[in-house]
Amino acid sequence: MQTFTVTTGERNEMVEITDEVRGAIGASGVREGICVVYCPHTTGAITVNENADPDVVHDLMLWYNRVVPKQQAGFRHGEGNSDSHIKTTLVGPSVTLIVADGQPVLGRWQGVFFCEFDGPRSRTVHVQVVGG
């Protein structure tokens, strides 16, 4: 397993981690298999989406914040970050990628992103690669 840190600067943001994932796959020596990218934090998530146009990330964050605003009548969690936990549940803590020729199989416009929903923070991401 490879582990790396992502440092975020905003409460809500998406940080592309495709290069770090590629590096972890390369370090594993696996040429063909699968790769799991996992975030062990309850207010951070992992997703695959378009990395060519930054407006996609903007639009995603706009939607998450509109659908799950920070303050909502009835939230009871004492830390005041219930919205962060909900957004993380919507996105999910991990993605599984196919590895071929020692590289993640991604579409032409796809990248891997760490989603921060309660920053700024320093976060851990684990990459486990299985195969031969």
Could you tell me the CA-to-CA distances from 42 to 39, 60, 65, 82, 119 in Å, in that order?
Answer: 8, 19, 17, 10, 12
Which domains are seen in the chain, by residue range? 9-131 (2.60.120.460)
The segments of the chain whose pLDDT lies below 70 read none
pLDDT of res. 72: 83
The fraction of the chain above a pLDDT of 90, given in percent, is 92
pLDDT of res. 71: 85
pLDDT of res. 130: 98
pLDDT of res. 78: 79
CB 28 within 8 A of CB 97: no
pLDDT of res. 67: 96
